[in-house]
Structure 1
């Protein structure tokens, strides 16, 4: 949608493709094709603010790394041949082995319209429930908990509740990094109304550094803590007996379980690894603050007991009647831009479309009649972990992966890769080559963000439009069209004869209201609109059963979509983890997101300023554990679990407690060798939701004895082989590769030297010391500009590289002094290093901030006034404060 009256006529209103906040974005395309983005000031999710990733969206729309043409067996093919082959192989497999021999694994990156047709094809016309989504790794426990408590997967509140609460409890949510725009809205409310913030997280995250109380619980003890809250509410006579009696069922059983779990605050403190005074303060604040919102995310969901954790939280809100009213309620924040949209259309294996389910024969019949699909699936399909296990066992013989990278992101990823390799037929539709595409028999190039139209639903049930402002490159096509093209070739053409996403959305909306009659909260029947209205659709909460009514908060009337209209308490008990640390694996490994990266980095990994804060995989470990394992800061650590091994640089920090460690989830084989958290994560799952335990994997950590290190700066896109460890990150003009090995330095030089291309002698500058320990080389192009440079040295002896990165990025011919400097390894002129980037929005480094502090800046606000750091999305503010505190300590010494 062009913006009326906007001075830039090309500006298009769309929605960010990253987290579940669902920020509005305004995209401008310049005459040269470059894209710039800014926050949409009128979008009610973000009011013009964007985080570091959202601000860099324009830098992700280039064609580097894009797959532009279909491929069959790794060779370019035409669309007709590729689609014909997909349809034939799926049809033949179904005919020979039945519908449950095929499966789709899809993604929260898909738009709702993409999701709808994929789900319709698999469940409605192939006749199997075997379509699951990477949202299974993200939100499945919340879905299960909502359905147990409310009768339907419904988030009752809205983002305004963050701003109207007097107490916000953030549990298992590093909101400052993972949902920074929401976090800034919360901090603004704290400044204006004094909102108290409690953070429950084993790590001292950026979120925990700006709260009133941090409860660093032992991993997996959330049920005990919230059972303690419920028991305290009962002992303090804070239970809303009128609400409980009129609007709920099962309270007595839930309270009995809570009292058995948590007879006292002391027992809760002991069981959770907390100070009793902190537990008592938390209980008192929760009991005494009516306007309380409990925000929970992956730290709760990604657990082998995630569903019970969700219900333990919801129980506390039901017991006090704090639900559906301003500034109160349980609030699940999603990790992906369309995790909720996928749930609306039945993208999970155990759901039907429009919040209907397999447990109801009436629902199955209803969807079948609406779709005119007599062969509709009659039972749930396989959830993600079981799905890939079935692939490995040969029960699933044809698999289609859409817009996700399970070879990296799934737990026990080594087994997943083996399953993909052994599968008889694998289709992958995506925008770029990934670790998963290497297993594809057929690759189908999909349109990406900015190239396709559709809708997404954010964490507060708000449906927003994603709009195209770029043409799909090469022969890329939207996912909905790819799915429909295959469906037609399989003989289901009449059911998939859509002329665009608006037609799909109309059908989706019509199904939501079909024979609903108020039985299901999800009803957007009034949004079954024509093309023009769809194009102009403003952001809107569901349900929208009537055109003039869009419901914001839900359940304020005490009525729920259960058979008796009552919410259900669920009796839950603290249970031990499926796997615990022991002498073999004594460290509890946690995984999660970084501030500036997204999933397996297929988009963000190519943006230099997003790579600058954490350019390589790091494992956070306490000083005590580092000492026990002989690790110094920056050493290469080998991390081993029962599932496999990964490697990452050690970062000694006080943000994790002894006995725990943290490894980011993002690194794939495209950006490092064997640094993926999924390779070592446990495949244990929640028995109800099927969501895997990604927050507690027992591991062993050991130091790798590294004898040489190297840095290669190059314009080439490489995947080195034969190295103990390598990682890379984007820089202006190319890539920076860090390499190391256990060989002697002279052997390391030979190994690293093999990466350099053959060039004419006059284009090569080369130096090797006579002891065979140090090597420096650079190659120049025909214009005399630096094409690549490599330095090899013993561990800890590499010179600074800032000036080399500037030379690569400048693309200017080198002077004689600069050529000589390449041999010496030192910049020809003194230059200050910015250091590791702290503020990605404005590219401000740690050394710049430290200098500003030394010059007199004593607050985060003063640093912002001086350098702009921390003045946009604010997700770096806690790190700036840490630098300020370190400066004060140094000045006091």
Structure 2
């Protein structure tokens, strides 16, 4: 068996994976011959993977794969014809309307080599900086904050700081779900080193439930919290004045402003949304511990005050001399596998390659290196402005790579209309099924994660080789190759790359040149400039900066350790926030704050994970989580369907958006919904259609997290599930969600009129009957072809609970004398929610096991000596739930506690009854 080391395709932790094949010939390797495990030698994960990572091989079997270039008409064309068409359209558009009439929109899913060639093509040869990336949607506020303070987009610390920290603060980050492997490392440090874990989040997330301290701040209050902390540190004489005087600038202005906020702690606590005791306890962690590490993610970044909030966090660590010190300082948790790599090469419209800006010396260096007369001379349009320009008709040609802006951007209906009206849209994708791909004039087959080769950079600046292990199918090509073909068709030199290694060498060479001319820059790949193809192929995970080839394989590297920064003066800059009273949220009478977040087992717009049955099982339908008092306010009940209204999207359709779920852990004023859903999987599209396009004024990142919406109930006459054949355009359908099963696909459906539900898929060869099942009136319809079941529809006036896999097993079976009896038995069995995606363990299994452990303890030790922790450990040991990637640990514990409490109530009642009888 041979093995190839590569990198995981998901979050910015940057886990290494090992893929093994029983076949010696990798070129013809089939997925069935492959096994995937975590790479035990990789410094990011040491062999651990999350549920999504463990199922990477399952993601390869896409329902519909793009293998050849295709026109919007559906006609396939050759690559040569496709690249010529794109080149001609771009050239004609620029000739008529100027360079800024074209744009590229990229993705953190691209490799660094793809990003580099795209940046060179647009900024160096098309002469526009209209090239941005979906990293703008998740990371740009952290980028802007680090640029303002450090002078460069550089994360100072590394993962090793976790083990050195005395206090770890996670803010705006549900790390247990979004970065599970890193979170397990945090929990291990917490246990081994007695590290205090603090989670700052308005919601009692899975992460918060495992913290020592959960600070449930008001939405948008993070800025006041940390700006007030700086004032508190000054008031209590905790600052490192020598470090401040020697290594920083701007302190006096910011500290005076901060002390105005901290002067009245009681008032500040009320503004933050916590008690005075809670606020003081949190602030004292900074005064009582030397090593404090603060890590942030989307809850901070996706805000109209995200940059100022991040700078407020950095200000506190800077004032304590924490930056560059082991176990201390600010750390940015990256969302995508190569968001940092894209930033390194200038993938954002607001910067040039190798962390350069648009000053004349930087532009001249780049033009000289690329051997062009000049490069783009000013910042281009960032994501939101870019698609506004498409909508307004000023951008007339756009090339989108590896991302789904029709779903992921705010005001997504506007984005869809803009692309539909745009004269020329090119999309590079691995599947034609995404909402964006369906709007392409030219659809290009990109190589997928298992096929492409290059590099990615993770959250701690570690470069990892992405190694393809399956031969590219059809005519799918690397994205850098596709761009190079178009560039050459446009007559541009400098795109004669032979492989990804040749691209990387040029990028490293540019880095060396930048470092030579601008020695204060931290980013440095000069030690990798002369890699041969074989050395590039064998490159070990390596953390930059890398000034020498001798540093290949280095880890645990911190920067700014000597207090010298990449600013013009060499000193870090304190940043005063524009307005600490400013909130991230807007509400009015009758509205709630909509918080768009993540689901534990899904990724982005589900184009990669939505078809994996084990990952869909935990949350099969779009849900909206509301506090029970909020339900009462809107007169809706758990399990009912709702849609939303907002300033940008009114109730113009009857389609339901999500099913209501009660959640005591979220604030009464909030509605929480996953951002993953799209028209590809749900008739109601997704949550981003209701969000306006407000952005942070510095980073230009959209404020996804806190916008006002109104909840509108959707009345259904009938709802249920259909297995087997399905008509997606059925009359009167207002709820439709496709769910992949291990044996096929089922659809959750709903109708506003009962007659439409009964008419749906009725044929002359149908059996239709009604029955009472567990007190619920259900209507069952079976469609047959030659006595073989081809569809089963189960409808009711309320939500239907079914075990999906066993129900789907009836499809394709002959109808015999016992068929209806067996079907009724299965319908009557109901269903139990999935808790652990890794093991497939359901709530019912946990309940059964925890009850068994409870009974055993009562039998052996009596009621007075019950130990829940012992029962939980035995349950997890028996079932395996929460013991693999660990991302469901909080849910497992919560489920077990609920059933343990039920058992306690029952045994109390039992003892009471015995006493009464006696």
Question: Hey, what does 1:805 align to over in structure 2?
Answer: 808
Shift of 1:158: 0.5
Shift of 1:406: 0.4
Tell me how far apart the structure 2 counterparts of residues 58 and 600 of structure 1 sit (CA, whole Å).
19
Asked whether the equivalents of residues 720 and 799 of structure 2 are also in contact (C-alpha less than 8 Å), the reply is no
Asked whether the equivalents of residues 392 and 418 of structure 1 are also in contact (C-alpha less than 8 Å), the reply is yes
> Of 835, 846, 849, which residue of structure 2 is paired with 1:849?
846
Q: Does 1:629 align with 2:621?
A: no
Cα offsets for 1:397-442 (capped at 9, x unmatched): 0011111000000001111111111111111111112101121111
| Counterparts in 2 of 1:249 and 1:469: CA distance versus 1, 3 Å | same
Residues 167-316 of structure 1 mapped to structure 2, 5 A cutoff: 167-316=167-316
> Of 664, 667, 676, which residue of structure 2 is paired with 1:666?
676
Question: Hey, what does 1:526 align to over in structure 2?
Answer: 527
Question: Hey, what does 2:605 align to over in structure 1?
Answer: 600
The secondary structure found in structure 2 opposite 1:491 is coil
Question: Hey, what does 2:793 align to over in structure 1?
Answer: 790
Tell me how far apart the structure 2 counterparts of residues 535 and 787 of structure 1 sit (CA, whole Å).
50
Asked whether the equivalents of residues 743 and 809 of structure 2 are also in contact (C-alpha less than 8 Å), the reply is no
Cα offsets for 1:558-603 (capped at 9, x unmatched): 111111111111011314247610025x201101111100000001
Moved more, 704-713 or 151-160: 704-713
After TM superposition, which residue ranges in structure 1, 4 or more long, deviate above 4 angstroms? 715-722, 779-782, 784-787, 797-802
The secondary structure found in structure 1 opposite 2:31 is coil
Shift of 1:721: 7.1
Shift of 1:257: 1.6
Shift of 1:765: 5.2
Question: Hey, what does 1:4 align to over in structure 2?
Answer: none
Asked whether the equivalents of residues 731 and 756 of structure 2 are also in contact (C-alpha less than 8 Å), the reply is no
Cα offsets for 1:742-767 (capped at 9, x unmatched): 21x233221x326xxx7xx7xx5522
Question: Hey, what does 2:588 align to over in structure 1?
Answer: 582
The secondary structure found in structure 1 opposite 2:848 is helix
RMSD, aligned α-carbons: 2.0
Asked whether the equivalents of residues 776 and 825 of structure 1 are also in contact (C-alpha less than 8 Å), the reply is no
Asked whether the equivalents of residues 165 and 327 of structure 2 are also in contact (C-alpha less than 8 Å), the reply is yes
Cα offsets for 1:809-845 (capped at 9, x unmatched): xx7x4573552236x63329x96x6621111111111
- TM-score, length-scaled by structure 2: 0.91
Asked whether the equivalents of residues 709 and 798 of structure 1 are also in contact (C-alpha less than 8 Å), the reply is no
Q: Which runs of 5+ in 2 are unaligned?
A: 24-29, 651-655, 855-867, 906-918
Tell me how far apart the structure 1 counterparts of residues 562 and 71 of structure 2 sit (CA, whole Å).
56
Moved more, 98-107 or 546-555: 546-555
Question: Hey, what does 1:5 align to over in structure 2?
Answer: none
> Of 692, 701, 707, which residue of structure 2 is paired with 1:691?
701
- TM-score, length-scaled by structure 1: 0.94
Question: Hey, what does 2:835 align to over in structure 1?
Answer: 838
Cα offsets for 1:50-89 (capped at 9, x unmatched): 0000001010111422112211123222222211111100
Shift of 1:794: 2.1
The secondary structure found in structure 2 opposite 1:736 is strand
| Counterparts in 2 of 1:15 and 1:715: CA distance versus 1, 3 Å | farther
The secondary structure found in structure 2 opposite 1:706 is coil
Cα offsets for 1:756-814 (capped at 9, x unmatched): xx7xx7xx55223499x8542334677x8754322222224566545203445xx7x45
Shift of 1:476: 1.2
| Counterparts in 2 of 1:201 and 1:817: CA distance versus 1, 3 Å | farther
Shift of 1:375: 3.5
Asked whether the equivalents of residues 791 and 798 of structure 1 are also in contact (C-alpha less than 8 Å), the reply is no
Q: Which runs of 5+ in 1 are unaligned?
A: 1-7
Question: Hey, what does 1:3 align to over in structure 2?
Answer: none
Cα offsets for 1:361-392 (capped at 9, x unmatched): 11011111001121310000000000000000
Shift of 1:268: 1.8
Tell me how far apart the structure 2 counterparts of residues 723 and 742 of structure 1 sit (CA, whole Å).
7
Shift of 1:678: 1.1
Question: Hey, what does 1:651 align to over in structure 2?
Answer: 661
Question: Hey, what does 2:858 align to over in structure 1?
Answer: none
Q: How many residues align?
A: 865
Tell me how far apart the structure 2 counterparts of residues 720 and 189 of structure 1 sit (CA, whole Å).
54
The secondary structure found in structure 2 opposite 1:651 is strand
Question: Hey, what does 1:865 align to over in structure 2?
Answer: 877
The secondary structure found in structure 1 opposite 2:471 is coil
The secondary structure found in structure 2 opposite 1:290 is coil
Asked whether the equivalents of residues 394 and 423 of structure 1 are also in contact (C-alpha less than 8 Å), the reply is yes
Q: Does 1:609 align with 2:614?
A: yes
Shift of 1:263: 2.1
Cα offsets for 1:141-163 (capped at 9, x unmatched): 00100000000000001111112
Asked whether the equivalents of residues 296 and 333 of structure 1 are also in contact (C-alpha less than 8 Å), the reply is yes
Shift of 1:710: 2.3
Question: Hey, what does 2:896 align to over in structure 1?
Answer: 884
Shift of 1:527: 1.1
Question: Hey, what does 2:745 align to over in structure 1?
Answer: 735
Tell me how far apart the structure 1 counterparts of residues 338 and 269 of structure 2 sit (CA, whole Å).
37
Asked whether the equivalents of residues 765 and 819 of structure 1 are also in contact (C-alpha less than 8 Å), the reply is no
Asked whether the equivalents of residues 834 and 845 of structure 1 are also in contact (C-alpha less than 8 Å), the reply is no
Cα offsets for 1:674-700 (capped at 9, x unmatched): 241110112100001000001101001
